[in-house]
């Protein structure tokens, strides 16, 4: 099956019903996407398909053929000199020292990235609502919200 991930084409030899999380991690080596509950509940495995956040643990690869898949590895911008500029959310999660174990973080960032595209000037309670189905077992919710607020300001300043 032909997939397009982070702007690159891939050919994978998998059953169409295989879940994307395993194809991304095991076949393509994109281990930034994490497996948590495996039931579409916790949000740890969130990626984008055509810019829409989806839970890759319950999304078969057949649902993504012909569409653009973006993972946390594809969120940064590649500059003309080949270096990488982190997405403002990635930078803010570092600067605000959000992660504890970090297992939930790529899912938090991918969900927040899609949210900020639709809601560039979010109020704190809107951030909480947008991320309420992304669970952080370490309880980093206050820092997660702070990082999203910082990233929103950065995105606005660079628009
Ligand atoms: S691992 Fe996919 S939602 Fe929890
Ligand atoms: S940082 Fe550990 S689950 Fe969120």
Query: Are 83 and 141 within one domain?
Result: yes
pLDDT for the residue numbered 158: 86
Residue 103 beta carbon below 6 angstroms from any ligand 2 atom: yes
* DSSP reduced 3-state for 68: strand
133 lines ligand 2 (CB under 6 A): no
121, 123, 128, 130: CA torsion to nearest 10: -40
Domains in the chain: how many in total? 2
Q: Does residue 116 contact residue 80 with C-beta atoms inside 8 Å?
A: no
> What are the pocket residues of ligand 1 if the criterion is a CB atom closer than 6 Å to any ligand atom?
35-38, 40-45, 55, 57
Residues 131, 151, single domain; the answer is yes
Domain end call among 74, 100, 135: 74
- Of residues 132, 113, 136, the one with CA closest to residue 124: 132
136, 139, 147, 148: residue to mutate for ligand 2 pocket, most atoms within 8 A of CB? 136
146's tokens: 């702070």
The verdict on the CB of residue 139 being under 6 Å from ligand 2 is no
Q: Are residues 120 and 146 located together in one domain of the fold?
A: yes
- 28: domain CATH number? 3.10.20.30
49 in the same domain as 16: yes
The closest alpha carbon to 32, from 121, 125, 103, belongs to 103
Residue 45 to residue 79: CA distance in whole angstroms:
27
Q: Which residues of the chain have pLDDT under 70?
A: none
Same domain (yes/no): 150, 82:
yes
Q: Which domain holds residue 19?
A: 2-74
pLDDT at 104: 98
Structure confidence by residue, pLDDT tens digits, 115-157: 999 999 999 999 999 999 999 999 999 999 999 999 999 999 9
């Amino acid at each position: 099956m032909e997939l397009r991930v982070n702007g690159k084409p891939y050919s994978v030899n998998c059953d169409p019903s295989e879940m994307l999380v395993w194809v991304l991690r095991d076949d393509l080596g994109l281990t930034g996407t994490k497996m948590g509950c495996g039931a579409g509940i916790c949000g740890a495995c969130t990626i984008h398909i055509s810019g829409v956040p989806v839970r890759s643990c319950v999304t078969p690869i057949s649902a993504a053929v012909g569409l653009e898949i973006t993972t946390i590895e594809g969120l940064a911008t590649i500059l003309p000199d080949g270096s990488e500029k982190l997405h403002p959310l990635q930078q803010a999660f570092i600067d605000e020292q959000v992660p504890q174990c970090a297992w939930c973080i790529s899912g938090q960032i991918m969900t927040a990235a899609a949210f900020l595209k639709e809601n560039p000037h979010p109020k704190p309670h809107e951030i909480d609502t947008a991320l309420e189905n992304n669970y952080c077992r370490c309880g980093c919710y206050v820092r997660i919200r702070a990082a999203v607020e910082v990233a929103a300001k950065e995105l606005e300043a660079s628009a």
